[in-house]
Amino acid sequence: MKKDQTLPNGNSSATTYSMTPVVMASAPLDLPLSKEKLDEINAHLSTLTPEEILKWAVDHVPGLYQTTAFGLTGLVAIDMLSKITSSPPPLIFLDTLYHFPETYELVEDVKAKYNVPIHVYKPEGCRNVKEFQAKHGEKLWETDEDTYDYVVKVEPARRAYADLGVKAVITGRRASQGADRASLQPLEIDSTGLLKLNPLFQWNFPLVEWYINENKVPRNKLLDQGYRSVGDWHSTTKVKEGQDERAGRWAGREKTECGLHKDYFAMKAQAKAAAA
């Protein structure tokens, strides 16, 4: 069976795929997955469109949520899911307390348009920047970047997963973003056993942007001001013409990930050692 997809340049891309009986036999999937089963699933998912990958996940993956900072790829997934199911996976938003005002505004826009549950998790014991600084000091991202990543992203995420019974999350990662993401697979398992679904792993930035514009998906207003990937205000800069889309994240540093997609146990041990 072939599935045609119209690209931004007007060409048609035909994707050939076949339904794999073994992969589709279990609904929901029996967890944990063996490496053989994971490889089998990825061989199947690699032939599907993002919409089909998401439909497969909705039908077969237990405890499914979407973690998002409302970047463009995550917004594409949110919009696609709204058209696939009347009960899309709930969203988990990790409020670091240092997002741009425009990002918080976008959260409200998404709530209004899609009416999807959004679970907001903040750094433990901190309701605002003042309480965060009282507990961790000023500019922790400068004095201890790894600990900062752990307390604003990693620990709140693990707390959310435990509270909500999360077994799998939809991410906005794409192979075209390079660095650690270059060899991305549609489905991965992290060191804790959490499933990570990357439905748009094969898409590039122009295709993502085309979908956003074509479907009138809400987007961060900062993207019209020279930004392409938006994180915390203190570690996000505008990008120049021709630069990589994530060049504005942690500019001038070798860092490419915030901690969510690093080894959890190593991050936890490092943060524990720093606090000792």
Q: Are 119 and 68 in contact (CB under 8 A)?
A: no
CA distance 172 to 189: 15
CA distance 257 to 149: 9
Q: Which of 69, 234, 231 is nearest to 139 (CA)?
A: 234
Residue 258 among the catalytic residues: yes
| CA distances, 11 to each of 6, 14, 173, 197 (Å) | 6, 10, 25, 27
| Contact partners, residue 205, CB within 8 Å, separation at least 6 | 72, 176, 228, 245
- Compute the residue count for the chain: 276
Q: Which residue in 160, 169, 258, 267 is the catalytic one?
A: 258
Tell me the one-letter amino acid at 110.
V
Q: Are 53 and 45 in contact (CB under 8 A)?
A: yes
As a 3-state breakdown, the chain gives helix, strand, coil percent values, each rounded to 5, of 45, 15, 45
Which DSSP string do the residues of 212-232 spell out, in sequence order? HHHTT----GGGGGT-SS--B
Q: Which of 16, 12, 20, 14 is nearest to 1 (CA)?
A: 16
Catalytic residues: 258
